[in-house]
Amino acid sequence: MSALQIAMAAGETSGDLLAGAVIRQLSMRLPPDSRYFGIGGAQMRAAGFQARFPSEKLAVRGYVEAARHLPEILWLRRAFKRTLRAAPPSVFVGVDAPDFNLGLECALRRAGIPTVHFISPSIWAWRGARIHKIKRATDLMLCVFPFETEIYARAGIVHRYVGHPLADLIPFKPDPMAARRTLGLPESRPAIVAVLPGSRNSEIARIAPVFFAAMARMHERGRRLRFVMPAASPAIRGALQRLAGRYPQLPLSLIDGHSHRALEACDAALVASGTATLEAALYKKPMVISYQVPWLTAQIMKRQGYLPYIGLPNILAGRFIVPELLQRSATPNALADALFDQLDNDANRRALNEIFTQLHHTLKRGAAARAADAIAEVIHAARHRR
């Protein structure tokens, strides 16, 4: 019998991290000569993945940004689709990146290739009509939030709740002092603020300047603070260093990667909306969530949105438990004020710790192992049908 061929496509840093963990689990369940290949990043390559294209190609968010990169993305999808149709894999696993993966999954499934999608698109927050495309695209949807299962059950889509991989990776009880030692930060005073402006070039261009101005406002008010800012890649670090050069007075540690250590070490965080807000919640940290997109993107998202919040901690709680300052509301002064409140409000800190601990228990399910079990079942079922 020929070796199993597991094709995957993961977008950006978070998808690469999730897919890498799944590959490691699959390698313990599938024959040792199984081959993993497709679109991926460093974490997937470290797990034995053959990346024919880098995952950074898919790291685009928003309508305006996507339109700018659309020709390259469409070329990449066509080229990858031709490759998979010419030599059909045992399964295709699309990891996040729904705008790229769902269309690809539709074509592959029509060609008889089993498809699995890992991490449901946020159809509960916006673009709910996408459920119809999902039904055409995937043989199995792997859900990371428990409330998603009801949505897929109503639509008649085969699904499984596996929990969230980050809940398995992040400890229930953070160790801020150990994290500070690792990063070379002071273990007691001053208070430490983690600042995470995003992992995409477009996010850095739009969000990071405002975040730097907010840090400057906080520093100007005479409060003893230390800021720590992780850079997701060398290119991102270069952009952040150029911004930091405008604020030589800031007590700022710019670090390569280590976003989890930065969150574990901090007393509060300023975070661009996205997966990092869930990471901050799992580290039980008070935070301020912010985001900025081009005006047209914001208008389209506003019309298609269903919830009054965009941050994952608020979505999962079903109410505003941490502040969100978006678009024009995200001024340097407003961000600074909100962060000072998160730093100084001890009652709020205790309440958030309780909420985030319960959330952590709900999401910790051994997600990578459960996802690997489900993918292996799809592969074996398809082989028996042939």
Sign of the torsion formed by the C-alpha atoms of 288, 300, 99 and 109: positive
Amino acid sitting at position 375: I
How far, in Å, CA of 133 to CA of 143, rounded? Answer: 16
Asked if 247 and 218 sit in the same domain, the reply is yes
DSSP annotation of 48 = T
Q: What is the pTM of this model?
A: 0.84
Predicted confidence at residue 61, as pLDDT, reads 47
How far, in Å, CA of 239 to CA of 272, rounded? Answer: 16
Residue 125: which CATH number? 3.40.50.2000
Asked if 300 and 193 sit in the same domain, the reply is yes
Predicted confidence at residue 312, as pLDDT, reads 93
Asked if 252 and 178 sit in the same domain, the reply is yes
DSSP annotation of 308 = S
Asked if 372 and 312 sit in the same domain, the reply is no
Asked if 153 and 184 sit in the same domain, the reply is no
Domain with 192 in it? 169-363
Q: What's the number of domains the chain is made of? A: 2
Asked if 185 and 112 sit in the same domain, the reply is no
60-103: pLDDT as tens digits: 444 444 455 567 778 888 999 999 999 999 999 999 889 899 99
Asked if 11 and 27 sit in the same domain, the reply is yes
172-192: pLDDT as tens digits: 999 999 999 999 998 878 999
Asked if 155 and 29 sit in the same domain, the reply is yes
Share of the chain above pLDDT 70, in %: 91
How far, in Å, CA of 252 to CA of 343, rounded? Answer: 17
Asked if 15 and 129 sit in the same domain, the reply is yes
202-214: pLDDT as tens digits: 889 999 999 999 9
How far, in Å, CA of 10 to CA of 44, rounded? Answer: 9
Asked if 296 and 222 sit in the same domain, the reply is yes
Asked if 213 and 77 sit in the same domain, the reply is no
Asked if 119 and 173 sit in the same domain, the reply is no
Who contacts 1 (Cβ-Cβ below 8 Å, separation ≥6)? none
